[in-house]
Structure formats: structure tokens, C-alpha cells
Amino acid sequence: MRILHTSDWHLGRTLHGVDLLEHQAAHLDHLVELTRSEAVDAVVVAGDVYDRAIPPVDAVSLLSDAVTRLAEHAHVVVTPGNHDSAVRLGFGDRLLRPGVHVRARLADVGAPVVLGPRPGATDGDRSPLLVYALPYLDPDTARHVLADAADAPDAPDADAPGAEGVGGDPVRRRPLARSHEAVMGAALRRVGADLARRRAADPGVRAVVVGHAFVVGGLASDSERDIRVGGVDAVPAAAFAGRGVDYVALGHLHGPQRVTVPEVGGGEAGGGVATVARYSGSPLAFSFSELHQRKSTALVDVDRLRTDADAAVELVPAPVPRRLAEVTGSLDELLGEAGEPHVDDWLRVVVTDPVRPAELYARVRSRFPHALQVTHRPPRVAEREVVTAVGPGRDPLDVARDFVEHVSGHAPSEAEVVVLREAFELALAEERSA
């Protein structure tokens, strides 16, 4: 069984004002051809299909067309990420054509998409592939829905005396801890329990988990949206260990990379399975922090993972619509021979003249029509007022702390920090519900 692991399409996104839809369409054409030519059994999309909860009409049409064409060659499994609206993406999922599976409901966590063996498979290869597709697990919602008796802290034992309320009704289960680690752990316990039952009946089954999260060990860039809750945004890689899962197809981080899952013995789903976890990364660069990333799609031979994990995963390079680059130097240098190799690139231009040149932006754009950022950075910055740049990668709570200290002359108190955190998380919640 072969799967094509992709994620973070962010359809509808722009790059410093440049519409990327044409280039995103070209990448989807590439995925369709790759699916056909490599006889892929399933395409798994690990979240952030759209860039925002209410995508533009052109992005919706592009997704519909891409999924229709992909489904002509393989199963398509899609989950929402933190940018998508799970409700909108999952609307009408039960009316979709056979072979298209949109898993957007928390109630479906632990229930796999079951993919049968390939036509012509031998008796030894007749076991199905189970794809446990998890939607983005927002702690504020998932901690209530996924709170089983065994998961919730301080929840009463359902079989213990006194575990019933008035009239024999069960005591309401307490929600999980308010963290990404808690909700992902609860989801994976459901996955492990279901997989254990199925593997007891058929030891040959393979299992893939599709998830959208920041797993400890992954390298972030500036273009991923902050998902901190309570100051924490990460899930430990050990959460995936001991579940009997062969491959974890991750989304959220835009750089393609492998995450090391520690090996543990035992496990309810048949221990001894070494789990391979990867981020496929985004198909296009969405910020200059991704300048040196080599974008790709992961082509995974699931049956080969247990014998040769490195050879089982092939990183297929993504088409590059236009190179991303940075050039630094005096304006005369950049307008001369030094800038020649970068005329057709998407550029961040840093001009180092001691005095800001006249008509700087116009002159740069006349030489580099695809320049996206133009900055004047004179060499004697030490004699100037120091200004700290606030990038997307900084914790917004730290930015707020620095601002309070700057305007008041002293750091915020613990009570003030609590108010700042609550205000930030309320703003995030309102943005997600938009």
C-alpha cells in the first residue's frame, strides 16, 4: 500500500500581497500526476487545506476540482487544520463520492478509514490499511468531547461505588486538562484501543495516523499560525509511541522533516512497531523564514516501513514556481552585476548604503520586478536607536509584557499577565470561530 502524504496547502493565501492561487493550482496538478504515475492507493492531506475559515470562492473551486481528479486514481483522506473551519470543510461529508473521506468531526476520532488491499494482492498482503484521520484538536473544544472516564483527571471510576449521581445517572465526566498534549493523548488512546481490537483479529493490518499539531522536535517557521493555549503549543513525540501505529502523517509545520518517536516496549495495539513520524511541509514557501527549505511531498510505502523505514519514504520535490532569495549590499552593487542572478526571484532586498538612497523602492523595483520586501539597513546601527522587530514567531504574550514594561517602566504583575493571556486567548478563539 502506498500513500501520498501532503499538507498545509493554504489555498487562498498570498505572499506579501502576491496571489499564489495560480501556483497552488500548478502544485495540485503535480499531485494528481504523481498519484497517477506512482499508483498511489491513498492521498492523505494533514490539515490547513484552506488558509482561513471562510476561504475565497476561487479557493473552494480549486479544492473541489483537485479532490475530484485525485479521487479518480486513489482514495483521498482530508482533515481540517487550525486554519480551516472544521464545520465548513466537513459539511456534506456523508454525501461525497466514494473514495473521498473528509474527517472533520471529533465524534469520529478513533474510527479509521479502512482501505482494502490492492487488486491482485497475494493472500499474505490481504490485510487492510487503517487511516486514523484526526481533525485539528482545539483544546477548548476537544477537552470536553474526548473526556472519557479513563482520561479525565480526578474523574470517578465508572464502576466504583458512588460513581452515580442522583437517580442513578452517571456523574458528569470532568474535562481533560486544557492543553494540546492532553487532547492528543486522549485521541491516541482511542486510536490505540480500536487498533488493538482490529489487530487481534488480523495481525497483518497496517495503521496510519493523520494529525495536525506542533510535535516537540519539529522546527517551526514564521508562517505557521500560533496555536498556544495556556502558554503551551506542543505535543511530545512520545504521545505517539506504543500505539502500534506504523506512520504518523503530520501537518502544521511548513518545513518537511522527520520527528523521532521514542521506541517503547509492549503497547496495547501490538508492541514492537517502530513508528515513523513526518511533516510533509507546505508545497510553497509562505515566508522568507522558509527560504532554505526544500519543499516536497512524502511518498510512503507502508508495507516497507517495518523492514527499511528510510527507504520506505521518498521525498518527491515540489515544483518551484519562482525562487525565494535575499540580496544584501549597497544600491549600486545590487543594481549592478551582483543582482543579475536574482532578477526573476521573489526577493527580500536589504540596502546597506550609509544614507537612504533617493527613490529607493522605485529603483529597486525597476531592477527586481518581483521584490517583495525592501529594507534600508545602514552599517552603523549601533549609533542609532535600537528597535526590536516583532516577528510572527514571537510569543504574543511576551510582546505584550515588553510593551507594558516599555510604557509603564516596570514589568507586569502576575495578575496582569493572567489578564493579558486571557485576552489573547479570547481573541484567538473569536478568530477560529469566524
Q: What is the dihedral of CA 236, 306, 283, 95, to 10 degrees?
A: -90
* Other beta carbons less than 10 A from residue 305's beta carbon: 21
Q: What are the pLDDT digits (tens) for 167-223?
A: 444 556 789 988 999 999 999 999 999 999 999 999 999 999 999 999 986 566 665
Which residue, among 371, 376, 344, has the nearest Cα to 18 in the 3D structure?
Answer: 371
- Rounded to the nearest 5°, which phi and psi values hold at 337? -65, -30
Secondary structure element (H or E) that encloses residue 264, with its range: none
What radius of gyration do the chain's Cα atoms show? 24
Q: What are the pLDDT digits (tens) for 133-158?
A: 999 999 999 999 998 755 555 444 44
DSSP codes of every residue in 301-326: EGGGTTT-HHHHEEEEEPP-SS-EEE
Note whether 133 and 101 are within 8 A (CB): yes
Q: What is the dihedral of CA 187, 193, 198, 202, to 10 degrees?
A: 120
Question: Which position has the higher pLDDT, 285 or 227?
Answer: 285
Q: How far apart are CA 190 and CA 202, in angstroms?
A: 18
- Amino acid 387: pLDDT: 63
DSSP designation for 47: S
Beta bridge partners of 376: 351
Task: Summarize the confidence of residues 361-378 as an average pLDDT.
Answer: 95
Alpha helices in 12-83 (DSSP H): 21-37, 57-70
Q: Give the 3-state DSSP-derived string for 107-121, with helices as H, strands as E and coil as C.
A: HHCCCCEEECCCCCC
Q: How far apart are CA 415 and CA 399, in angstroms?
A: 17
- Amino acid 82: pLDDT: 87
Burial of 94 (0-12, 13-18, 19+ CB in 10 A): exposed
Q: What are the pLDDT digits (tens) for 304-350?
A: 998 999 999 999 999 999 999 999 999 999 999 989 999 999 999 99
Q: How far apart are CA 318 and CA 285, in angstroms?
A: 11
pLDDT category, 266, cuts 50, 70, 90?
Answer: low
Q: What are the pLDDT digits (tens) for 295-307?
A: 999 999 999 998 9
| Cα dist from 188 to 10, 109, 180, 209, 274, whole Å | 26, 9, 12, 9, 16
pTM attached to this predicted model: 0.80
Q: Which of 16-30, 62-76, 117-131 has the lowest mean pLDDT?
A: 117-131
- In the predicted structure, residue 164 carries a pLDDT above the cut 50: no
**Which residue in the block uniquely carries the three cell numbers 512520545?**
238
What's the mean pLDDT when you consider all of the chain? 85
- In the predicted structure, residue 369 carries a pLDDT above the cut 70: yes
| Cα dist from 132 to 243, 249, 270, 317, whole Å | 12, 10, 16, 26
Q: How far apart are CA 401 and CA 212, in angstroms?
A: 29
Q: What are the pLDDT digits (tens) for 95-115?
A: 577 899 999 899 999 999 999
Q: How far apart are CA 260 and CA 267, in angstroms?
A: 18
Number of Cα atoms under 13 Å in the Cβ half of residue 140: 13
